[in-house]
Amino acid sequence: MQSVGDSLDTWFKREVLPHEAALLRYLRRIWRQSDEIGDLRQEIYARLYEAARKSRPHSAKAFLFSTARHLLADRVRRGRIVSIEAVGTSDALDVMVDELSPERRLSAWQELRRVTYALNCLPPKCREVIWLRKVDELSTKQVALHLGISERTVEGQILKGMRLLSEAIFTRALSANNVASTRSIDTETENGKE
Amino acid sequence: MERSKQTEEHAAAWLLKRDSGHWSNEDAARLAEWLDTATVNRVAFLRLEAGWEKTSRLKALGAGFARGKVPSIDELSRSIAPASGIAELFPQSRTRGAMWAKLSALAAAVMLAIGTGIFVYTAGPLAGDRYATPIGGVASVPLKDGSSVTLNTASAIRVQLTDKERRIDLARGEAFFDVAKDPARPFVVRAGAKRIVAVGTKFSVRKEGENIRVIVTEGLVRMETADSAGSLLTAGAIARTIDARIAVQNKSVPEAEDTLSWRSGYVVFRETALAEAVAEFNRYNERQIVIQDPAVAAIRLTGKFRSTNYEIFVRLLEDTFQVRAHYTDDQIVLSGR
């Protein structure tokens, strides 16, 4: 069932994608063929999206990991891949199925830091092009003129930038824990007397 | 090539085209068709779109740089310096330190005009050296016993060093003390009816009306109110008096030091309510920020800002939250959008 005003697409971006770093850690730990991780991620997302069309899960993260587990198990059954360790009751899974609580979501400032970090990870030319396009809001043509390169090159750099940025923002990125580091468990004690 | 890479390249090409400004209804229909062809297409597209949308947040940084000029990695990193920049904490401006050292030598009756404020120092009925800072000022004062005091914005202290006691009176504002060890002469800071006693340690005292806040970053400090025996505070402690009572929060030392970032000219917020953050900025600036909207006051934010650069702060609020700023001569009024 889809709630009004919150499309499945929006839900997917807001509730599922933030767990990509954790998903990738999990996949890398139990899947030997590292060159297949990208395909696995996409298939898991597709399968999850299909299932969510019918019924939106309560916990996106738990659902993401159970989708991953089933998909990996299917692959093993079909005999396409044999080098898999501990599908099913992986201890790794247990620790990870806690939802992002509201305070662990990134604040706007932390998001900005993460994106800036992602930008700084880009190759120099690509970084320049993305800045001019995104921040100074120059058109592809204006960027090309400004940098003295062809429009085609600019487009190539944007394509590359789009993919690298998503990779840095969702995958490589510091986990919400790292960035947020809201150590908010304060023990408030009262000593002194009335 | 991996299949997923190909899908992603197609998705990026669609996103680029849609982003280019040349986007017809037919294009939209063709994209919709491509997205419907396979769910892998859709998820790949959504993922890139989400990353691309997030990248727009960079516009908040654009204000700090000339248009058409791409800032270096260092410049960008500096503009988003992490909240826990302990390494940045103490490179205190030397020129200011020297200036205040000279002032302390004059001490007796000095008239100072700093900015628009005039500060008068007289020996008065009570002896001792007096120091004060204007709004937005931070200054370090070396004391004769080897200790040093750093004064925050709009703060004033009086210093009396005797054979038995090293006595500081905090008249207003906030001061950080780096106390040289001398067991024979306790280092006592008084703020109203409260006393803070140290031997060799680092701590700060902030006066808020009749109440005070003490933060200890090294060693041990004893805090006394008029009618309590006193509380011992260890490093990392943040203690507040509420009338005669003392409330203590025990934090990590780096966290406690975050609260003292004013020494290097910064304010640091960690999931702080905007109302509180604004009150903090207002301590450092003549031009006051006023919040008109309770929803705006409740916004929480995390970050590190130059305490005197409220304009960047307000601009960032406008860019990242649903906040509108209205500038008058002596105020900036924030409301919801």
What lies within 8 Å, CB to CB, of B158 at 6+ separation is: B126, B128, B129, B130, B168, B169, B171
Report how many Cβ contacts below 8 Å link chain A to chain B.
Answer: 188
The correct answer on CATH 3.40.1280.10 for the domain covering B86-258 is no
Comparison of pLDDT for B40 and A21, the residue scoring more: B40
Q: What residue ranges do the domains of chain A occupy?
A: 8-100, 105-180
Nearest CA in chain B to A113: B80
Interface contact B39-A49, CB threshold 8 A = yes
Instruction: Note the pLDDT tens digit of each residue in B45-79.
Output: 999 999 999 998 888 777 667 788 888 888 887 77
Average pLDDT over all residues of chain B: 80
**Amino acid at the residue B170:** L
**Which CATH code for domain A105-180?**
1.10.10.10
Is the confidence at residue B83, as pLDDT, over 70? no
User: What is the per-residue pLDDT for B18?
Assistant: 94
Q: Is the pLDDT of residue B204 over 60?
A: yes
Mutate to test the interface with A, among B7, B20, B52 (most CBs of A within 10 A): B52
| Cα separation, B134 vs B144, whole angstroms | 24
Q: Are B99 and A142 in contact (CB under 8 A)?
A: no
Whether the pLDDT of residue A41 is over 80: the answer is yes
Nearest Cα residue to B103 out of B170, B159, B43, B63: B159
Domain map (residue ranges) of chain B: 3-79, 86-258, 265-336
Query: Token pair for residue B224?
Result: 């006394």
Q: Identify from A44, A115, A147, A164 which residue to disrupt to test chain B contact, counting B C-beta atoms within 10 A and taking the largest count.
A: A115
pLDDT value for A6: 65
Fold held by B265-336: Phage tail protein beta-alpha-beta fold (3.55.50)
The residues near B30 (Cβ < 8 Å, ≥ 6 apart) are none
pLDDT digits over B247-281, tens only? Answer: 888 888 888 888 898 988 888 888 888 999 999 99
Taking an 8 Å cut-off on Cβ atoms, the answer to whether A166 and B50 are in contact is yes
User: In angstroms, rounded to a whole number, what is the distance separating the alpha carbons of residues B237 and B256?
Assistant: 7
Instruction: State pLDDT tens for residues B125-183.
Output: 456 788 888 888 888 888 989 999 999 999 999 999 988 889 999 999 999 999 998 87
Q: Which residues of B touch A163 (CB under 8 A)?
A: 8-9, 12, 48
Interchain contact, A46 vs B43, CB within 8 Å: yes
CA distance B250 to B245: 16
**Model confidence pLDDT, tens digit, residues A159-180:** 999 999 999 888 864 433 333 3
pLDDT of residue B21: 81
Spatial separation of the C-alpha atoms in residues B123 and B121, rounded to whole Å: 7
Please check whether residue B265 is in contact with residue B138, taking contact to mean a CB–CB distance below 8 angstroms.
Answer: yes
Average confidence score pLDDT of chain A = 74
The confidence score (pLDDT) of residue B269 equals: 83
Cβ contact A61:B25 at 8 Å: no
Q: Report how far residue A181's alpha carbon sits from residue A4's, in angstroms, rounded to the nearest whole number.
A: 34
A45-98 per-position pLDDT tens digit: 999 999 999 999 988 989 999 999 888 888 777 654 444 343 443 333 333 333
